[in-house]
Amino acid sequence: GAASKGEYRHYMLKEIFEQPKVIEAALEGRLSANSVLVESFGPDAQALFQRTRQVHIIACGTSYHAGLVARYWLERYAGVPVQVEVASEYRYRHPVVPEGTLFVSLSQSGETADTLAALRFAKTLDYIGSLAICNVPGSSLVRESDITLMTRAGPEIGVASTKAFTTQLVALMLLTLSVSKAKGQAEYPDIIAALRTLPEVCQRVLALDRQIEILSQAFAEKHHALFLGRGAHYPIALEGALKLKEISYIHAEAYPAGELKHGPLALVDSEMPVISVAPNDDLLEKLKSNLQEVRARGGQLFVFADESVGINAQEDIRVLTLPHVHEALAPLLYTLPLQLLSYHVAVLKGTDVDQPRNLAKSVTVE
């Protein structure tokens, strides 16, 4: 059935490998030849997006990281200012809601107590409307929001979220393209074309599993790890660090690579693995010089890089090459090797991968 592990040792691994299929499902019927179908968000979406002058995104945990990626996308491709905040902070402060603000909640379960309370609180404020991006049809968040988009990841059993996150990213890219289109702005046929090839490109990344398993051996005895990214890959670094913490119990932190000098560099020595994502975007040269700073302190570098970036493996740098993808979708693709890395480290450490200590799949009490 939908919730059996089948040939896989853990639900988490099964759910990682389901990503090409569920990403395809998340796109199904939501694109036309070279455009996004705004009505995927419901009949009222066109009018709402047309009026949208800014967006407030609220979520918890992994869903919050998806929101952070969406900020880069909505600002860059739709020209709309975005704030992203964890629900437990948002609901207890006094947020200012400028005219024309859309409230967006992100949740796998649709039942996270703080996210639901944030939506209920937002309804007392001057938003133009609420959108829920959610994986569970009929959940409280879905029932109580004005418009919704389902992520279609299917049941996610592993406590550490994987396919729910990447399908949220697909939904958020559809939102970005829809807001831009509804406002009569640019359309992005290149991104639409890249979205269509995404399931196949993800499949090629998952084929690197065995190589990532070999890399994971370097982490089994470590107590700390540092994840670096720039731009929209900073939230991917945060998500990579969260996965490692959740299931392997290794202390991990993520930093935007440009902040390295402002503190974390002091922690770097030969015992500190530093994981970095290096897609081929306009921040690549800056990232490369950040990586040199790590090498100069004897740090062990692990780089997930685009095939075209020309970072070569050396004694102190291990490089895993990923297929090229449209720059807009790179955050989604680079999530996959980080999921697999955490998974294999956790298996080596013998933790309860699907049910990590002290954590719950859905936090329904505050």
Interacting residues toward ligand G6P by CB under 6 A: 60-63, 107-109, 112, 115, 159, 161, 359, 361-363
Least separation in angstroms between residue 315's CB and ligand G6P is 37
Task: Find tokens 């994986």 and name the residue.
Answer: 135
What stretches of the chain show up as alpha helix (H) in DSSP?
Answer: 11-17, 19-27, 45-50, 61-78, 87-90, 113-122, 140-144, 163-182, 189-206, 209-216, 234-248, 284-296, 330-349
Q: Residue 344's closest CA among 248, 252, 271, 272?
A: 248
Q: Shortest approach of ligand G6P to residue 86 CB, angstroms?
A: 10
Q: Minimal distance in Å, beta carbon 244 to ligand G6P?
A: 14
Question: 106: which strand partners?
Answer: 133
CA separation for the pair 226, 325 (Å, rounded): 25
Chain residue whose CB lies nearest ligand G6P: 61
Shortest spacing between CB 246 and ligand G6P, in angstroms: 7
Q: What is the smallest separation between the CB atom of 141 and ligand G6P, expressed in angstroms?
A: 8
Closest to ligand G6P by CB, 82 or 159:
159
Q: In what order do the strands lie in the sheet with 82-86?
A: 82-86, 54-59, 101-107, 129-134, 147-150
30/243 with CB nearer ligand G6P: 243
| 181-188, long-range: CB < 8 A, 24+ apart | 181/35, 181/36, 181/38, 181/49, 182/38, 182/45, 182/46, 182/49, 182/50, 182/52, 183/49, 183/50, 183/52, 183/78, 183/80, 184/50, 185/78, 185/79, 186/77, 187/34, 187/35, 187/36, 188/77, 188/328
Residue 112 or 166 having the CB closest to ligand G6P: 112
Q: Which two tokens stand for residue 324?
A: 């090229």
How many CB atoms sit inside 10 A of residue 305's CB?
Answer: 24
- Environment class of 293 (CB within 10 Å of its CB; exposed 0-12, middle 13-18, buried 19+): middle
The smaller minimum CB distance to ligand G6P, of residues 11 and 49, is found at 11
Place of tokens 């075209």: 308
Minimum CB distance to ligand G6P smaller for 101 or for 107: 107
Q: Which of 27, 60, 333 is nearest to 208 (CA)?
A: 333
CB of 183: closest distance to ligand G6P in angstroms?
28
Q: Do 267 and 298 contact (CB within 8 A), yes or no?
A: no
181 is a catalytic site residue: no
C-beta of 239: minimal distance to ligand G6P in Å?
Answer: 10
Q: Give 115 or 300: the residue with its C-beta nearer to ligand G6P.
A: 115
Q: Which CB atom, from 125 or from 360, has the smaller least distance to ligand G6P?
A: 360
Which residue among the candidates 21, 183, 288, 361 is catalytic per the annotation?
361
> Which residues, other chains included, contact 307 with Cβ-Cβ below 8 Å and sequence gap of 6+?
321, 322, 323, 324
Q: Tell me how far the alpha carbon of residue 212 is from its chain's centroid.
A: 19
The residues that are catalytic are 361
